[in-house]
Chain A
Amino acid sequence: MRLFSLAIRSLLFYWRTTVGVILTVAVGTAVFTGALLVGDSVRYSLRRMVGVRLGRTQQALVPQNRFFRAALADELSQSLDGPVAPVLMLRALVSGGDGARRATDVQVLGVDDRFFAIGNAKPPRWNDGLAVNGPLAAKLGVKAGDDIVLRIAKPGIMPRDVPLSPDSDLSVAARRAVSAVLGPDDFGGFNLQANQVAPLNVFVPLSWLQRLAERPGQANMLLAAGDGLTAEQANQAIREHWQPGDAALEINRLETQGVAEIRSGRVFIEQPLADAAPTVAQQAFGVLTYFVNAIRLDEKATPYSIVSAIQKGATSLVPADMSDDEIVINAWLAEDLAAEIGDTVEISYYVIGPMRKLIEESRTFRVRAIVGIEGPAADPTLMPDYPGLADVDNCRNWKPGIPIDLGAIRDKDEKYWDDYRGTPKAFVTLQAGQSMWANRYGNLTMVRCPDSDPNDIAQRLTAGVDPAAVGLFFQGIRQRGLKAGAEGTDFGRLFLGLSMFLIMAAIVLVALVFVFGVERRTEQVGMLLAVGLTRRQVRGLLLAEGLLPCIDGVILGTILALLYTRLMILGLSTTWSSAVAGSAIRFHYTIATLITGAVVMYLITAASILLALRKQVSRPARELLAGQLRWQFFVTRFVHPGKVGFVVAVLCAIGAIVLAAAMGTGDASGMAGVFFGVGALLLIAGLGLCHGVLSFIAHSRKGAVSSLWGLAVRNTTRRTGRSLAVVILLAVGVFLVVAVGANRQDPMAGAGRRQSGTGGFTFYAESTVPLLHDLNSVEGLKAVGLDPNLAHTAEFIQMRIHEGDDASCFNLNRAQRPRLLGVSSLRLADLNAFSFAATLDEKPDISPWRLLVEPLDDDVVPAIADIATVTWALGKRIGDEVDYLDERGRPFRVRIVATLKNSILQGSLLIHEAHLAAKFPSEDGYRAFLIDARQDAAKAVESQLSNRLADYGVSLTPTVERLAAFSSVQNTYLTIFQMLGGLGLVVGSIGLALVVLRNVLDRRGELAMLRAVGFPKNTLSRMLRYEHWALLLAALVIGVFAALVAVMPALRAPGADVPGLSLALTVVAIAVSGMIWVALATHIALGGQMLDALRNE
């Protein structure tokens, strides 16, 4: 026989201990590895979602509110030798055929077969209908064959915020039948944003949507697939194939004028094109033509005229020596105003400010010359195609997007329009015109190239301008999506944290079970030493007996981990679904994770066994032979053992008092941390006191035990270390469960206050179709069909949206480019809305909202975000930056300058509206709103907004509900922690039962003696129960008291939703569980023929 075979023999003989070790190691391993597998499953699900969202798409071209030839896809496909699909994507409000249910912010995707090919899916049979994806079908309650109604945000010919852009005709409606419901495998989950929550999608034939949106042959998105396709390759192909028409430019030959003319379908030519235009032909010159309100001279005024600003020296109308304060007028105007050369005329005109606020400005000019309406002065083509002007025969039918006083139009004005149409009545220098009428969309309305061929111009333009400058650039959408998933919420670590106490309890239990098994064989160990085995050999033997079952336990636990993970995923899909925003998580495991979990748990349990064994074999053989194993705890030669505990208790109590006193009146989160520290110190103090009391009683020589309860208390001191281990395990568990569980948030409490997470606002709303007007003005309310009296009962903070990744706790992916909200922050500063967790530049009297106003640098824009967005969704801190590309593909950075506490603005970065408009000028109107409603009018406001703005697809949410939804994620994590912590305490209770069994077995002889001297079995049972219930009571009192101190701030804070009942029930459950385990163990231990123990054997 060898030592190893003796170890095997012992394991088999003491099978109960062996099984106990295997099972507890299995539990610990199952929980540990299971937590890691949850992480694996979430990561796998997110990775899989990239495929569901994007199919084989590698690169995507998504210019902001721009349209280009769908045929560009074919050209690029040939160049790249890979599939490229054109898509026309618009937003819509969709309702079921009966209108009963509706969905806002739906993606309407005009696609063809190439789209589905990229998605590895079969295209649906349209049958003159459309397809919806599963989530939309569920939301509307529709199936194939049912009708739905779409109200689609119609793209404007020019951006809606462009001056003179019409503010009507914002949407178009259509009713179609659902021909198919597309699942994830049908590419129904298409979404460019890295979000695991499925979007709401409608799929329609591309040609049909092009007709409906009046965008024939156009698309606004390209998806390029192809293994290894890089953005550089795709962008090179764009550079080779793009045409001016793809940037809304038209180049035509004007025979009469003898020029090739470049003009834009967006009316204003964008800056990069305008800068390049003069280089495309010799003597090319720019023109900026505007519609002015009036031209005045003294009391006379000519209404609603066209004025052209032309580059100096380009034509005879604006000679090279003309100054910027001079004007050339035509004879008609001169006659109308009775103007002469040298007179000073005033031009008044509208510019559009934020929220389409019309600001009338004016400027005076000195008449330099009067020209006849002939030659270059008789050129109606100098007026761009202003919608509502150029296509109208009668002045009185003008709808130029600004208010017109039709009463001011005279017959002669009508005649002028009939005879000369948009022929300008006056001419100024281009510099003068640009200083008056240039805007973020451009500062020219045309470029004219004398004696030039349009084809040559087109070639030179496309060669000289980077298409990225007009928004035509590909981005690595797949790589971004994979990165977002890989960097997303680490559910493995999260669940490890939530399960930590359960794992610790299992490990402690492993050590307890093993040590108890060894203690039973103390004399055997002594005998082995006595017959000449070395301590190393004996320790090795016992270690083998400990480690071998650990291997089995780890293997069993690894198998159980698969089941545990499935249970956790089931929980995440049902009861705890708010923790993952209802996402579908798929079970997945990797061998590497299984091995990692097994190895780590094996090492941890092996270490705990090694630690536990240290003292077992260090005792002298003679003591072991006599069964005198003493588990000493802090015993020193000169210090009474109990004194150590009292010293620890006093020091920690003093520390707690000092810490509490030094805390002052810091902010709530700081105070919470300090109080937690105070609670932890009190916990240690309580445990130290417990040790001191146990040791004191153990060594006390005074007094005599005179009651059963007194005897029970004395008995708890028999194995002080063992008793203390149980108290520590249970007290720490109770402390953690109560202290963490008390940190729930109730968003309802204090929600009306400005400093709360709602900002004091009543509603948060988003619209599908942008609202262009100022809803805080009577004109704005009327323009969108709202009751003007709303101005007295509600206030609106209107925000622009630049779409991006959802950076809220609902998105498991790491947001790469979070959604941007553009807000005029000064009103928020005036209201002192929301509370800040931190700011970069703290000035006591200045609201951090004002930090948004000034840009930090040319390429750096300040932003404010919710602290949860910054910390968890982005993994960043205050002062960190996020990279973006503007509308022209130029990189810029957004720097976080302040963070908000637990607010409804979670999920986006807030920047100043002006910065958003500068970086993304094509973002139309306002789509997000904070609404302050007077309390007594809130319902009426809600009703009016929901009904009257239905066509805008406005979705209104009470702010408390929105906050509650965010809080539900954190609260769900706390629920999971409570449940797992509670399980850990149940495991701890099993430890208590083991201690009971062990104690009784140790004392079988003396218990038998007590029976022999007349103690009935019931009395012995009661004594044992009292003894161990005393330990349980001590643990609960220490743990609960320390926890209550730790959570004092939470108990007193507004918004605290301490789940008193559930915590109380948890503590009661722990107490009851412990009492039951003790009673059960006592019953088992006292079974059998106890009196036999009075014999030697």
Chain B
Amino acid sequence: MLELIHVSKDYESPLDGQATHILRDVNLKVDSGRSLAIVGPSGSGKSTLLNIIGALDRPTSGEVRLDGEDLGHMTDAQLARIRNKRIGFVFQLHHLLPQCTVLENVLVPTLADPAGASREARDRAMTLLDRVSLADKVHHRPGELSGGQRQRVAVVRALINRPALLLADEPTGSLDKATASEIADLLVDLNRTEGTALIVVTHSGELAAHMERVRELIAGVLHSEAGL
């Protein structure tokens, strides 16, 4: 359902106009319901690759196809719709809204719909929160939760609109080992039960080991299955 074809990404320095090659000729395929970990050293371009996959950035060259649709020809508004309906994001820093409750944070993606959160969305939110053992915290604010709880809320938020693809950028990077393991299990479990394709960018070998496949990105080049 996701295909990257000869994707490259360069950034031009505003100071001297020199191009820096972040991604070089990346080719990638992920089918529905599958999981993939992308590992690599710092500065290898992992987050950039995830941003391109998640329609947060555009490649300098190459194609990104989601369910056969080329994202490169879409407008910003169309890409926003794609991100809203078909992609879910889990960030390293959860980016929960401190002014909103757990339930409201989970429903943030539904705000893109002018009608706001439907009853169905609310029911789904409660179900998912129950799945992640946060049903009793729905009216709490993020400041009242632990780091792991916040990240679980972020994961639920990412799944609220039943995306076809779930992207996670270092989802356990700021968590302790036990909590990180919980999140890793949660992601894998939801990948299986929701049927959502899952791509995780991580330094963590333990998290990468949970995924079906692992590929390594080194100096902008995506290598085939990494040996772990």
A and B together in one complex: yes
- Say yes or no for A246: interface residue by CB 8 A criterion: no
Q: Which of A14, A528, A532, A621 has the most CB of B within 10 A?
A: A532
In whole angstroms, what is the CA distance A532 to B74 when docked?
A: 14
B157 touches A531 (CB 8 A): yes
Pair B83/A12 contact, Cβ less than 8 Å: no
When C-beta atoms are compared, the residue in chain B nearest to A636 turns out to be B14
- Is B107 in the interface zone, CB < 8 Å from A? yes
CB-CB under 8 A from A531, the residues of chain B are 83-84, 89, 108-109, 112, 157-158
Contact (A14, B99) CB under 8 Å given A531-B112, A533-B112: yes
B residues 164-181 near A (Cβ < 8 Å) are 173-174
Contact B91 A532 (CB under 8 A): no
| A3 close to chain B: CB less than 8 A | yes
Does any Cβ of B come within 8 Å of A635's Cβ?
yes
A1096 touching B93, Cβ below 8 Å: yes
CB of A893, distance to nearest CB on chain B (Å): 68
State which size class the interface on B falls in.
35 or more
The segment from B36-44, B51-59, B65-73 that touches chain A is B51-59
A229 to chain B: which residues have CB within 8 Å?
A: none
The stretch that binds B, out of A386-394, A519-527, A724-732, A952-960, is: A519-527
Cβ contact within 8 Å between A13 and B98: yes
CB atoms of B112 and A534 under 8 A apart: yes
Known contacts being A1-B107, A620-B57, A1097-B93, is A635 close to B14, with CB within 8 Å? yes
What chain A residues lie within 8 Å of B116 (beta carbons)? 1-3
* B58 nearest in chain A by CB position: A620
CB-nearest residue of chain B to A4? B116
In the complex, whether B5 has a CB less than 8 A from a CB of chain A is no
What are the residues of chain B within 8 A of A532 when measuring CB–CB? 80-85, 87, 109, 112, 161
CB <8 Å contact, B112 and A537: yes
- B contact residues around A527 at 8 Å (CB): 91, 95, 97, 108
Cβ-defined contact, B84 with A9, below 8 A: no
B135 at the interface (CB under 8 A from A): no
Interface size class of A (residues with CB under 8 A): 20 to 34
Interchain nearest-CB distance for B129 vs A (Å):
15
A699 to B15, CA, bound (A): 9
Contact of A620 among B56, B81, B110, B111 (CB under 8 A): B56
Q: A602-616, CB under 8 A of B: which get 1 and which 0?
A: 000000000000000
Task: Name the B residues within 8 Å of A621 (CB-CB).
Answer: 56
Q: Which residues of A contact B14 (CB under 8 A)?
A: 635, 637
Within 8 A of A (CB), among B94-127: 95, 97-100, 104, 107-112, 116-117
Q: Which residues of B contact A638 (CB under 8 A)?
A: 17
Give the contacts of A631-663 with B (CB-CB under 8 A): 635, 637-638
CB distance from B17 to the nearest CB of A (A): 7
Complex CA–CA separation, A620 to B80 (angstroms): 12
What residues of chain A lie closer than 8 Å to B91, measured between beta carbons? 527, 530, 625
Q: Which residues in A have their C-beta under 8 angstroms from that of B17?
A: 637-638
Q: Which of B47, B84, B99, B174 has the most CB of A within 10 A?
A: B99
- CB of B15, distance to nearest CB on chain A (Å): 7
CB proximity to B under 8 Å, residues A530-550 = 530-535, 537
B56 contacts A9, C-beta separation under 8 Å: no
Chain B residues with CB under 8 Å of A534's CB are 76-77, 80, 112
Bound Cα distance from A1030 to B112, whole angstroms: 45
Complex Cα–Cα for A637 and B12 (A): 10
B95, A6: Cβ atoms under 8 Å? no
Q: How far is the CA of A529 from the CA of B108 in the complex (A)?
A: 11
Q: In the complex, what distance in Å separates the CA atom of A10 from the CA atom of B105?
A: 12
In the assembled complex, A622 has its CB within 8 A of some CB on chain B: yes
B147 within 8 A of partner (CB) = yes
Q: Taking CB as reference atom, which chain A residue is nearest B104?
A: A1
B99 touches A9 (CB 8 A): yes
Given contacts A533-B111, A1097-B147, 13 further A-B contacts (CB under 8 A): A2-B116, A3-B116, A9-B99, A10-B99, A531-B84, A532-B109, A534-B80, A535-B76, A535-B80, A537-B112, A635-B14, A637-B14, A1096-B174
| Complex A-B: 11 CB contacts under 8 Å | A1-B110, A1-B116, A6-B104, A6-B111, A9-B100, A9-B104, A524-B97, A530-B54, A531-B84, A531-B109, A532-B81
What is B's interface to A at a CB cutoff of 8 Å? 14-15, 17, 47, 51, 54, 56-57, 76-77, 80-85, 87, 89, 91, 93, 95, 97-100, 104, 107-112, 116-117, 147, 157-158, 161, 173-174
Q: What are the nearest 7 A-B pairs in CB distance?
A: A532-B84, A13-B99, A527-B95, A2-B116, A532-B83, A531-B109, A1096-B174
